[in-house]
Amino acid sequence: MSKSAYSYIGDAWKKPDTSHESAQWHRLIEWREGESFVRVDRPLRLDRARALGYKAKQGVIVVRARVRRGGLRKKRFDGGRVPSKMGVKKITMKQNTQVIAEQRTAKRFPNLEVLNSYWVGEDGKQHYYEVILVDPFHPSIRADKDLSWIATRPATNRVLRGKTSAGKKHRGLVGNKGKGAEHLRPSVRKSGRRQKDKLVWKKEKQAEKTRQ
C-alpha cells in the first residue's frame, strides 16, 4: 500500500535535520533574528496543520510565534529563609510553552480565534510554534461546515480557557478517561468546588439531625 504525501512529510518532521547548513539550521537563524510573531504565507508542516483544522481559504491565517524555553530554577538565597520557602527547586509552570505561545498570539491578533498550533523548531533559548488563527466574522468561515462552529458564542476566547489541543493536554484531559480521572472534568477547580459543596451539604444534614 502506497503512502500519501502527508505521511512522508510527517516522517520527515519526526526528527528534523538540524545539521550544519541544513534547511532547518538556516530557518532557526532567520527566526532568531526576526520578530516574535510573524505571519507566514503557508504552513511549514502541512500534514500537521491539516490534521488540526487548517484550510487554505480566506479567513484562515498562520502565525509563527516565538517563546522562551528553559527551566524555572531560581538563584539560591544566601540566608534568611528556611529551605522549603526559598523557591528554588520544584518550580513548574501551570501551562506549557505551546499554550503560552497561543495565548500571546491571540492577544496580538484580538479579532481572530486560535484554532490550534504545532511545533516547528527550537534552539538553545527559544521554542517556535505555528499558530492557526481563524476570523469568526468572515463570510467564508461562517459558510464552512467544518469551521462555522468557531463563530458561535461558546468558542469565544477558547484559547484563554484551555480549549485547544495544547490547552487540554496541560489540563490533563488527553489520555485520562474512565477510572482514576473522575475529578478532571469539567475542570479540577470545578470538581473541587463540587466536593466542597457536598461536604457542606453533609454537615448541614448532620446538624439538622442533631437538632431534631
60 with 127, same domain?
yes
Check residue 165 and give its pLDDT.
Answer: 93
158 with 210, same domain?
no
The reply to whether 94 falls in a domain is yes
63 with 31, same domain?
yes
The reply to whether 52 falls in a domain is yes
Which pTM value belongs to this model? 0.83
23 with 109, same domain?
yes
Check residue 171 and give its pLDDT.
Answer: 86
Distance CA 131, CA 19 (A): 26
Place of cell 480549549: 163
17 with 68, same domain?
yes
Which range of residues forms the domain containing residue 146?
5-162
Instruction: State pLDDT tens for residues 11-58.
Output: 999 999 999 999 999 999 999 999 999 999 999 999 999 999 999 999
187 with 82, same domain?
no
8 Å CB contact between 166 and 96: yes
The reply to whether 169 falls in a domain is no
Distance CA 211, CA 186 (A): 37
157 with 197, same domain?
no
141 with 182, same domain?
no
Check residue 189 and give its pLDDT.
Answer: 81
204 with 109, same domain?
no
Query: In this structure, what CATH number is given to the domain that contains residue 106?
Result: 3.40.1120.10
37 with 126, same domain?
yes
115 with 35, same domain?
yes
Distance CA 196, CA 10 (A): 46
Question: What's the structural domain count of the chain?
Answer: 2
8 Å CB contact between 173 and 82: no
pLDDT digit of tens for each residue in the chain (212 aa)?
A: 688 999 999 999 999 999 999 999 999 999 999 999 999 999 999 999 999 999 999 999 999 999 998 877 778 878 788 877 787 877 778 889 999 999 999 999 999 999 999 999 999 999 999 999 999 999 999 999 999 999 999 999 999 999 999 999 888 888 888 888 888 887 878 888 888 888 888 888 888 888 87
Single-letter residue type at 21: E
The reply to whether 28 falls in a domain is yes
Check residue 97 and give its pLDDT.
Answer: 94
45 with 149, same domain?
yes
